[in-house]
Structure 1
Amino acid sequence: MAENNFHIPGLSEQEVTAARAKYGSNSISPKKSSNLRDALIDLAREPMVVLLLVTAGVYLLSGKNGDALFLTTAIIFVAGISLFQNSRSKKTIGKLKNFTQPKCKVIRNGTAIAINSEDLVVGDSLIIEEGTSVMADGTIVHSNDFSVNESVLTGESLPVFKDPASIDHQIFQGTTIISGLAIATVTAIGDQTRLGQIGRSLENIGTEKTPLELQINNFVKKMVIAGGIVFVIVWLINYLHSLNLLDSLTKALTLAMSILPEEIPVAFTTFMALGAWRLMQMGVVVKQIKTVETLGSASVICTDKTGTLTENRMSLTKLYVSLSGSFYDAGGTLDDPARALIRTAMWASEPIPFDPMEVALHESYQKNFTVDEREDYHMVHEYPLSGKPPMMTHVFENNNGTRIVAAKGAPEALLAVSDLNAEEKEIIKAAIREFSAGGYRVLGVGETLFKGNHFPVNQQEMKFVFSGLVAFYDPPKKNIASVLKAFYRAGIVVKILTGDNALTTQAIAREINFRGADQCIGGDELLMQPESGFRAEVEKTNIFSRMFPDAKLKIINALKSVGEIVAMTGDGVNDGPALKAAHIGIAMGRKGTEIAKEAATLILLEDDLSKMVDAIAMGRRIYANLKKAIQYIISIHIPIILTVFIPLALNWVYPNIFSPVHIIFLELIMGPTCSIVYENEPMEKNTMLRPPRPLSTTFFNWNELATSVIQGLAITAATMLIYKYAVGAGLGEQLTRSMVFSCLLAANIFLTLVNRSFYYSVLVTLRYKNKLLWFVIWFTILLSAVLLYVKPIAHFFEFQSPSLIQLAISAGAGISSVIWFEIIKWVKRS
């Protein structure tokens, strides 16, 4: 809205500044908390941190001050990594919240402008219209057929009609506009609004965890319990052998550390938060982080036609005048009957149009009439868009008492209230079919006479003269055929749910190579089906015409009931229930109403459906990379656990081959690998050629889990062979430890490379771009060399520098224990 049409000046810039200084910003003050304090409390609850603290204390009591100092440094390092990851995730989520902040319209300096809702001040002239949410409390000063849903405050779902003369002429933050338009002077913002005062009770309501989160947490809890049990057993065995309480406690703590997979929750949080941030950079705003997890599972996309498959650039193209039965090109030379039809259609539109078709009608009126009557008339009554099929009626009157009563809507709706006989209706239906078959959006137009001010409750009670048809053309988006092709290749079914008629929708569908364009069913016909027939119809049909909110919602629920993961696009007030019900609600960022954006979980900033292809690809990539990360964690934890446990349990010659300082070093290497390196992995080229993953699927199937376990056991076999080789060669404990450690590190590096894909060869994945991977690998190699060959550090870690041959044997065994999986991948590809 570029100009103010209400003769309301609004606040000046100086008045806005003064009001903001006095009343603050329009936001609910968050519950006071210290992010650092909360993070430190969470950190203190981490099992690994607790184990490190206990072990450092034991070393201190034993007089091993160097080991105690190292572990204390390790605690600070682990804490730093955790705080960094936590901070990065919170910053990402904070940026997402700022990005999804709703807009609102105000009149300032005599002009209507859009601002962030947070920038509203007391005294602002707030413009609210159908499809928006109220962003502050206020008093209505101007309204037009204005009704509001206040159920968020009152629990009453029926709309309440209000105007400046009503006893209750207040609006409240959080309520939603059902119809019409109003201007209100803002009286309260932020905490001072009625919703703000209630809002405190919502702060302690927790969010529900997703199935994947629950599976991961359950797995980690089981490992913690297993670690606790093994810790007690090993402590008891050691104590019975040595009768040394502190020494046996240290050995038991070493094993407990090796069991805990504390990297998994960190990896999950990091992947989801960074995934949401990456999506935002692509133009897809994720309102709920958990949606990232669901994206890769989408199996059905239900989309609107207008503005999603088409450009939403409605141009008035064709006319049909009922009285003469004549067809016209709207852009050509028009006679009086054709111009009269345009005039009636314009009066049936909103006086301040925002719908593209109404904008086109106002523009056509302006083009075809030299004398503009709009300034002379004012609206005295309005019937908003309603009915099945829908229509709307406006009543205007000038100062002389001359009245115009004009209606427009679905042609079937106007035919039902017209004074035509059956034969005349058939002629008009033929004209409708002709327009619709050409892909035009068709509206019926009618007018009537009505004297007096006792208007009927429903517009359908009046009898109209059927004036004719106006047809608009909205061309398909240029990229939409390729977008549909990408969905189909990914195994995703696309369904069109539109308020338009069947012939128009099918014509556009054929133009864009839409699958199932020849079969269509209307909303009323669909709802007449019995429950079993309804579900079957929804599954087999891909085009649904003349849809209304109840039918859309029922379709979404029917698809969900048969196990589909449903994404739904929408932009209007009526799309709200279906957007809320879908697994993935997708609102349009440009033409979407605030109600649609509020109900959705994703917002496409540019109203471009191709971004959903990118979003689904990103969802699949994130899920695949998270699986790789956790499979890596499982695979590398097994040899660490068994390398510590087997020599101890079997009482081999060097039972304590690793101590806590070695375990914590390995943990510090593995953490960045799983949560940074794998998160940064590019999408594999066959990702969007696979069918969607069912949401009910457990994170790992038995084959995947077995692969990780076998990989871990193979690495364990290599470390044990090196152990036996070193002992058999008469090498001392420190040199044996160095060789086992080198074997484990080599296996870890090559496991990172091999597990970048469970399908493609490592020769292919080496060409993947991931700078972080090589940084972590070279850093690990350099740090390992320092540990083994810089004498003071090697002495602290109780290492003895191996010869190049010994190092080659150890590294070769580690590489061999992992590289065999390339043969499995080759067989799979073959």
Structure 2
Amino acid sequence: MTYNIPKDFRGLTETEVKVSREKHGYNRMDAIRKETWMSMLFNTLKEPMLILLICVSVIYILTADYGEAAFMLAAIIFVTAISFYQDNRSKKALEELEKLNEPLSKVIRNAEVVEIPTHEIVLGDLCITEEGSLINADGRIVQSNDFSVNESSLTGESFSVFKDSTSEDNYVYSGTITVSGLAVFEVEKIGKETKVGKIGQSILNIREEVSPLQLQIRNFVKGMAIIGICIFLAVCIFSFIKSRDFVTSLLSGLTLAMSVLPEEIPVAFTTFMALGAWKLMREGIIIKRSSIVETLGSTTVICTDKTGTITENSMQLKNFYDYKTNTVYSEDKFDVNDLDELIHYAMWSSEPVPFDPMEITLHKVYEQTQNPDQRKDFQLFHEYPLEGKPPMMTHLFENAQKQRIIAAKGAPEAIISVSDLTETEKDKIRNIVKEFGEQGYRVLGVGKAFFEGSNFPERQQDFSFIFLGLTVFYDPPKKGIKNVFQDIYDAGIKVKVITGDNADTTKAIALQAGIRNDADAVNGSEILSLSEENLLKLTENTTLFTRMFPEAKLEVITALKKQGNVVAMLGDGVNDGPALKAAHIGVAMGNKGTEIAKSAASLVITNDDLEKLVTGIAAGRRIYSNIKKAVQYIISIHIPIILTVSLPLFLGWIFPHIFTPVHVIFLELVMGPTCSIVYENEPLEKNAMKKPPRALSDTFLNWRELMVSIIQGLVITAGILWMYQYSIDLGNDEPKTRALVFSTLIFANILLSFVNRSFYYSVFESLKNRNNLLLGISALVLLLLLMILYVRPVSEFFDVSSLTLEELSASFLLAAISVLWFEIFKLIKRMTNRNS
């Protein structure tokens, strides 16, 4: 956009910026103290699993088992490194998101308008703020056009305040919002010296709201931790009563406690969410809170603005309708003399420095068709902002000879209602507006008035206007938008259009964009007159909401939420702000969206491409599905570890301590990366975007899913314990039995990670979805198993015997039987679905 900046507004030079910054610093509050590596280490060492490992290490050192103590120390280092790696990945991802979330500010430097990150504003800068922008520093207005500001963040008063350089209070303040017009202000205070900075910095320490899934996972892990403590005490007491060996009893209890604790789950959740947000950022979707990723996959209704969201927001001027000659003029005839008056007044009713696409177009048409150009001769000396239902605006200009121009434009209904027309004439214009609207055109009425003196009416509607004609714009639907809405419908998501435009235009554009609609459009004024019960019914069945204003938009969003929907609201304007904030997911357009829209939204699409929202929903579903897979894998594999550690002890079998802490921690080290790194990398299943969205209130594992995981775990346990007894029956000693049981469990673990990639499709179908991390980690685990079995120092440390090829094959076969039975379950499920 081009700004007509006066020549004397040169702004600061680079040298002046540097001097100002050195003296006064950056435009930001005191930064929150960042975590040092020491604090990160301390937080990591507070994890329950590491506390258990440290306890076991101490016991081994006290009993002079230095080999085991060294292994535990290595395990502590490995677990800490994994935690550091995951925390660092999450932290870096969130830092990148933070950078992108910082708004840009327009400043004049070296006589040019440039956009800079807000924290780079310095004292003395000339900042430009325009409709929808968040003001990011305190300063004095030096020039303005039709400028009003909402200062409710400071005063609590929600109405707009008009200001200019001559106002008694000609200051703007950080944290306030430009409601209309444009202003240039000189920055006098930044950062913590601003009004909002002095009020307090409590907003910096607001904690992110815990999502339902986070809460469910937290409660699940707490429950398992309590169970772990109970089992730890029970095993310690039981073992001590039988053996009277305190150290062995304590080690047995700690071994079982480690096998029970599912510490991988919260790590997996944090990793999945942070990396999910980071991956979306690379796709051009900025997520402000990582937990929003989870909510995205649950979206049931998308409410979208029309202009700039469904359409290109290009506002091509297609026609003028001149009322005086009763003629419609197309683009190639705009230069005819009959149109001079209409073009003049359409331009004069626009802002002198236009920022709206329609007003920019009207200025261009005026420039191309009118000679001489009178814009420099006339000065705006009084104005009425865009207001009313339907809205209109009026500008008053005067030249040096005291000649006046009073020009108005707005919704055709608004201009018609204040013009001196008969009902027959009004009906005639309404029919013309309807015809244009049915073609998807956006229509504005234009009028002129005469007024002597300076005692102007309080309301612009009190002028007596002469109706001049109509400006007819076409804002075409974006390319490929039909396919986008088809994908949204395929995913079981409803679409509703909420716009300030009229019903005919909205209906035509919706049809062109592929939006399904079989109900009449509803106007904003109707919304506020309805009871809650009627509003709930109306919002459920209506697709097109027209002539909407902020209060009406908010009512619709609230009603949809009350119906149990998960609502995503798409918008780019100032009047979309409340609805964006109220929706579960507020989605703003990054290119053409106003700062207030981006500030209110929880997600920003950087290139305004609505297809990115489908990408975001797919990512949300993928991440939620992968978290469930990871959790189900953890539950299924923890069960055989817990029971293999505890049952031989409680049942008094010949080798009660078949697994020691060394074996359990090795298994834990295998499971950690598998669930938090491998499953995070799982691609979207091919049917995921053809299913209806899940309810946000659903638990991350329902009882049926939990039972499936428990049964998987119990079947694997049965196979492992059968191998245990089979080995004893063959007369094998403890190292050989341990090797067979341990190998069977490792094979089962690897196979389970492949089988649980999908709970519907076969393992062979899942292999088509490449996941190189899974293959890599599985190969690494197999290599480690072979080292444990066949490298003598390692096998002696793990207290296992080497296995023959026949024994190893038997372990693998038993593991395969105990895991791959689930493929039959999935086959039956697929066949049942086909037949139903």
Query: In structure 1, what residue type is equivalent to 2:258?
Result: M
Describe how 1:627-706 pairs up with structure 2 within 5 A.
627-706=628-707
Offset at residue 34 of structure 1 (A): 3.4
Query: In structure 2, what residue type is equivalent to 1:741?
Result: F
- Cα distance between partner residues in 1 of 2:245 and 2:40: 37
Describe how 1:216-231 pairs up with structure 2 within 5 A.
216-231=217-232
Offset at residue 33 of structure 1 (A): 4.2
Task: Give aligned pairs, total.
Answer: 830
* Structure 2 equivalent of residue 575 of structure 1: 576
* Structure 2 equivalent of residue 323 of structure 1: 324
Check if 1:457 corresponds to 2:484. no
Query: In structure 1, what residue type is equivalent to 2:718?
Result: A
- Cα distance between partner residues in 2 of 1:518 and 1:473: 24
Is the Cα contact below 8 Å between 2:322 and 2:328 reproduced in 1? yes
- Cα distance between partner residues in 2 of 1:167 and 1:477: 46
Query: In structure 2, what residue type is equivalent to 1:214?
Result: L
- Cα distance between partner residues in 1 of 2:258 and 2:674: 18
Deviations 1:387-433 (A, max 9, x none): 11111111111111111111111001111111111111011111111
- Cα distance between partner residues in 2 of 1:6 and 1:566: 45
Is the Cα contact below 8 Å between 1:139 and 1:187 reproduced in 2? yes
- Cα distance between partner residues in 2 of 1:518 and 1:350: 37
Is the Cα contact below 8 Å between 2:10 and 2:108 reproduced in 1? yes
Deviations 1:520-549 (A, max 9, x none): 111112332332222111111101111111
* Structure 1 equivalent of residue 337 of structure 2: 336
Is the Cα contact below 8 Å between 2:4 and 2:353 reproduced in 1? no
Deviations 1:33-83 (A, max 9, x none): 433233223213211111111111111111211111211111111111101
Deviations 1:698-727 (A, max 9, x none): 111111111100000011001100000000
* Structure 1 equivalent of residue 197 of structure 2: 196
Is the Cα contact below 8 Å between 2:519 and 2:542 reproduced in 1? no
* Structure 2 equivalent of residue 594 of structure 1: 595
Moved more, 531-540 or 706-715: 531-540
Query: In structure 2, what residue type is equivalent to 1:31?
Result: I
Query: In structure 2, what residue type is equivalent to 1:557?
Result: T
Query: In structure 2, what residue type is equivalent to 1:433?
Result: K
Describe how 1:143-158 pairs up with structure 2 within 5 A.
143-158=144-159
Is the Cα contact below 8 Å between 1:235 and 1:248 reproduced in 2? yes
Query: In structure 2, what residue type is equivalent to 1:68?
Result: A
Query: In structure 1, what residue type is equivalent to 2:592?
Result: K
Deviations 1:437-489 (A, max 9, x none): 11110001111012222322221122211111110011111201101110111
Moved more, 34-43 or 302-311: 34-43
* Structure 1 equivalent of residue 834 of structure 2: none
Offset at residue 348 of structure 1 (A): 0.5
Check if 1:269 corresponds to 2:270. yes
Query: Would the alpha carbon gap of residues 308 and 204 (structure 1) be closer, same or farther in structure 2, given more than 3 Å must change?
Result: closer
* Structure 1 equivalent of residue 74 of structure 2: 73
Deviations 1:746-780 (A, max 9, x none): 00000000000111111111121111111100000
- Cα distance between partner residues in 2 of 1:309 and 1:594: 19
Offset at residue 4 of structure 1 (A): 4.1
Give the match's secondary structure for 1:450: coil
- Cα distance between partner residues in 2 of 1:531 and 1:80: 55
Offset at residue 113 of structure 1 (A): 2.0
* Structure 1 equivalent of residue 57 of structure 2: 56
Is the Cα contact below 8 Å between 1:510 and 1:517 reproduced in 2? no
Query: In structure 2, what residue type is equivalent to 1:581?
Result: A
Describe how 1:408-487 pairs up with structure 2 within 5 A.
408-487=409-488
Query: In structure 1, what residue type is equivalent to 2:717?
Result: T
Query: In structure 1, what residue type is equivalent to 2:322?
Result: V
Offset at residue 157 of structure 1 (A): 2.4
Query: In structure 1, what residue type is equivalent to 2:709?
Result: S
- Cα distance between partner residues in 1 of 2:665 and 2:454: 84
- Cα distance between partner residues in 1 of 2:643 and 2:757: 24
* Structure 2 equivalent of residue 299 of structure 1: 300
- TM-score of the superposed pair, with normalisation by structure 1: 0.98
Give the match's secondary structure for 2:266: helix
Is the Cα contact below 8 Å between 1:522 and 1:547 reproduced in 2? yes
Give the match's secondary structure for 1:374: coil
- Cα distance between partner residues in 2 of 1:455 and 1:41: 70
Give the match's secondary structure for 2:209: coil
* Structure 1 equivalent of residue 366 of structure 2: 365
Query: Would the alpha carbon gap of residues 294 and 691 (structure 1) be closer, same or farther in structure 2, given more than 3 Å must change?
Result: same
* Structure 2 equivalent of residue 395 of structure 1: 396
Is the Cα contact below 8 Å between 1:71 and 1:661 reproduced in 2? yes
Is the Cα contact below 8 Å between 2:72 and 2:662 reproduced in 1? yes
Deviations 1:494-545 (A, max 9, x none): 1111111111111112222320066211111233233222211111110111
- Cα distance between partner residues in 1 of 2:440 and 2:618: 32
* Structure 1 equivalent of residue 537 of structure 2: 536
* Structure 2 equivalent of residue 286 of structure 1: 287
Moved more, 815-824 or 156-165: 156-165
Query: Would the alpha carbon gap of residues 201 and 507 (structure 1) be closer, same or farther in structure 2, given more than 3 Å must change?
Result: closer
* Structure 2 equivalent of residue 5 of structure 1: 5
Give the match's secondary structure for 1:455: coil
* Structure 2 equivalent of residue 165 of structure 1: 166
Query: In structure 2, what residue type is equivalent to 1:263?
Result: E
Is the Cα contact below 8 Å between 1:506 and 1:517 reproduced in 2? no
Is the Cα contact below 8 Å between 1:506 and 1:518 reproduced in 2? no
Give the match's secondary structure for 1:331: helix
Query: In structure 1, what residue type is equivalent to 2:438?
Result: A
Moved more, 802-811 or 26-35: 26-35
- Cα distance between partner residues in 2 of 1:755 and 1:824: 12
- TM-score of the superposed pair, with normalisation by structure 2: 0.98
Moved more, 210-219 or 419-428: 419-428
- Cα distance between partner residues in 2 of 1:647 and 1:592: 65
Moved more, 56-65 or 615-624: 56-65
- Cα distance between partner residues in 1 of 2:45 and 2:29: 31
Is the Cα contact below 8 Å between 1:145 and 1:181 reproduced in 2? yes
Offset at residue 22 of structure 1 (A): 2.2
Query: In structure 1, what residue type is equivalent to 2:324?
Result: L
Is the Cα contact below 8 Å between 2:755 and 2:820 reproduced in 1? yes
* Structure 2 equivalent of residue 37 of structure 1: 38
- Cα distance between partner residues in 1 of 2:174 and 2:361: 33
- Cα distance between partner residues in 2 of 1:628 and 1:452: 76
Give the match's secondary structure for 1:441: strand
Offset at residue 805 of structure 1 (A): 1.0
Is the Cα contact below 8 Å between 2:309 and 2:572 reproduced in 1? no
- Cα distance between partner residues in 1 of 2:299 and 2:703: 23
Query: In structure 2, what residue type is equivalent to 1:5?
Result: I
Describe how 1:733-744 pairs up with structure 2 within 5 A.
733-744=734-745
Deviations 1:536-589 (A, max 9, x none): 111111011111111111000000000111000011111000000000100000
- Cα distance between partner residues in 1 of 2:779 and 2:611: 39
Is the Cα contact below 8 Å between 1:4 and 1:107 reproduced in 2? no
Query: In structure 1, what residue type is equivalent to 2:2?
Result: A
Describe how 1:741-820 pairs up with structure 2 within 5 A.
741-820=742-821
- Cα distance between partner residues in 2 of 1:472 and 1:128: 27
Deviations 1:772-820 (A, max 9, x none): 1111000000011101110011001111111111111111111110000
Query: In structure 1, what residue type is equivalent to 2:658?
Result: I
Is the Cα contact below 8 Å between 2:260 and 2:642 reproduced in 1? yes
Give the match's secondary structure for 1:142: strand
Query: In structure 2, what residue type is equivalent to 1:772?
Result: L
- Cα distance between partner residues in 2 of 1:693 and 1:342: 53
Is the Cα contact below 8 Å between 2:146 and 2:182 reproduced in 1? yes
Moved more, 704-713 or 135-144: 135-144
Give the match's secondary structure for 1:820: helix
Give the match's secondary structure for 1:381: strand
Deviations 1:134-185 (A, max 9, x none): 1111111122332222222232323233222233222221111122221111
Give the match's secondary structure for 2:588: strand
Identity of aligned residues (%): 53
- Cα distance between partner residues in 1 of 2:324 and 2:34: 72
Give the match's secondary structure for 1:316: strand
Query: In structure 2, what residue type is equivalent to 1:762?
Result: V
Describe how 1:126-137 pairs up with structure 2 within 5 A.
126-137=127-138
